Structure 1
Amino acid sequence: MTAVAGTLLRSLGVVSQSISQTAPAALRGVSQSLLNRGTWSTPAWTPLVTTVRHRYYADKLEKGPLKRHYGYKEKLHTKGMLPHMVHGQRLPVPLFRPKNNWSERKALFGQNDYIDILGNGTLHPTDVAYSVPPWLRGFKGNEYQMLLRKRKLFQSEMASSRPTKYREMNKRIKWLYRFLNQKTRDYYWHKA
């Protein structure tokens, strides 16, 4: 193999010398200096050597299995249905505390639902709706009427303390006014 490579290089050297002798002087340049610099008649020519990581499969097996995701710690629980064990301790579970079904809030829930039927007639069901704001207790109407009522009651304080809410409320009132007056049919509208 080395003998064949050597003869090939020698023949290339001879061809390059003949080209350099016949080429005009203007074409001779860097390539000419490169051709003259190398000696092609060297007897020992060594090919480019590439290293092989695993020469034999047995050497690869001796090193053990390939390590993937080295240093990565899995944070998800993938070990089945049992609780995840961290440092030999179970996950903390809150103590069982039974609910008090006879607390005041639960015991008195719905006590005034039928006050108008079972009472003496002095109380109205809207009077005992404690979770509803006072300005909405007993109110009956659509969203537009409710917003008009709210603006009438809280206009001065909303404008100073919550200007963005006040502006959004006015925008909604204006939109509902247009919608109710232009987009919906009333009782006096007839087909032409």
Structure 2
Amino acid sequence: MAALVRGLMRRVVALPQAVRSVSGGGQRHEPYRPLPITSPLAGLPRNFRVREPPKPQKVDRWTEKRALFGVYDNVGILGEVSPYRLRALGGRGRRPEAAASGFQIHPKHLIMGPKWLRGWRGNELQRCIRKKQMVGDRMFMDDYHNLKKRIRFLYKRFNRTGKHR
């Protein structure tokens, strides 16, 4: 049995060498020449290409499509003004935009939230002070205490750091 195995081992043909490559294979530009086993590049092809990242493209941000994106989104929410309504509003001689204030719902009526915050702008400290003035007398004791603590903390923070010093 051992003689048979030795005989078969002598006739074994060398298998083709597996080739690793950085670029994932593909067409080679020159014939494959194996490197010595001691080389750090053993198993890698000799000439692998390093691809450069694509150059940034110049994009025109003011094309008609980009400039008018979302212009008519409010029509679905607020409803469209009919031409008869425009004529009744005096839109014949003027620009139609000037007379087109006849929407069914105005955007300010779609804003949800407390009455004392609708359409008001300000930072967190100003908002907390406004809340204390408007609804402070009707708040629970714990909520009122936490609001006063928050105002104290924000007052210190705003006076010590930031562009509003």
What TM-score bracket applies, with the shorter chain setting the length?
Answer: 0.3 to 0.5
Rg bigger for which structure?
Answer: 1
Scaled by the length of structure 2, the TM-score of the pair is 0.37
Question: Looking at both structures, which has the greater relative contact order when contacts are Cα pairs under 8 Å and sequence separation is at least 6?
Answer: 2
Question: Greater helix share, 1 or 2?
Answer: 1
